[in-house]
Amino acid sequence: MTRSLHTPRPDRAAGTREAIMTVAERLFAEHGLCAVSNRQIGEAAGQRNVTAVSYHFGSRTELVRAITTRHGERSDRMAAQVMTDPAMRALVSEEALNRPHLRRTLDGLGGLLGHLPPGTRAARGEMARHLITHACAEQEQALAEGTGLPRPSWQRTAGDLTDAVVGLMTAPVTSRRM
């Protein structure tokens, strides 16, 4: 069986995709996402074809998605290693909780939920964490198995989880009986 002259070899195509992602990431970091054209990315990656980004990724959005997925995979591998060491797990948790965007989110939630007793707020936060973790795990398993159940998409999962967590966090506090 012979290959067409126009069909890229899988190994060469993968190398080109990797080169484009690496260059795009650097250019985005240096100049900003909107200041860099697909043509500039292709040229900086050594591609003569001015539509190399579109050819290898389909769109700029898919290029950005591929870059973030690559980082997510690396982060997941690192997190799996770090989480086996109690000292490192504590360090990573502390660092994560001190990220400015997460800190703003947690502070905002604290302001909205300030009327809840601290113990209730902590218990509901833990319940929300378990709900999110298990719902995402079930969704990932269903998508991997091709069943599409319990929800047909991540968008639907996110919407359902948002509704559930809002309900959980804003429910009235009932009297406690011992």
Last residue of a domain, one of 23, 58, 73: 73
Mean confidence (pLDDT) of the chain: 85
Based on C-alpha coordinates, what's the Rg of the chain?
23
Domain count, the chain: 2
Alpha-carbon gap, residue 159 to 35, rounded angstroms: 33
For residue 34, is it within any domain? yes
Looking at residue 8, its pLDDT comes to 52
Regarding whether 69 and 20 lie in a shared domain, the answer is: yes
Alpha-carbon gap, residue 79 to 95, rounded angstroms: 13
Write the CATH number for 65. Answer: 1.10.10.60
For residue 48, is it within any domain? yes
Asked whether the predicted pLDDT for residue 63 surpasses 90, the reply is yes
Looking at residue 178, its pLDDT comes to 45
Residue 175: what are its φ and ψ, rounded to 5°?
A: -65, 145
User: Could you tell me the residue range of the domain that residue 62 belongs to?
Assistant: 10-73
Contacts of 49 (CB under 8 A, 6+ apart): 42, 55
Q: How far is CA 13 from CA 1, 23, 54, in A?
A: 19, 15, 13
For residue 137, is it within any domain? yes
pLDDT digits (tens, 9 = 90+) for 82-112: 878 888 888 878 887 888 888 888 888 888 8
Alpha-carbon gap, residue 71 to 150, rounded angstroms: 28
Looking at residue 10, its pLDDT comes to 64
For residue 87, is it within any domain? no
Q: What is the pTM of this model?
A: 0.49
For residue 79, is it within any domain? no
pLDDT digits (tens, 9 = 90+) for 26-56: 999 999 989 999 999 999 999 999 899 999 9
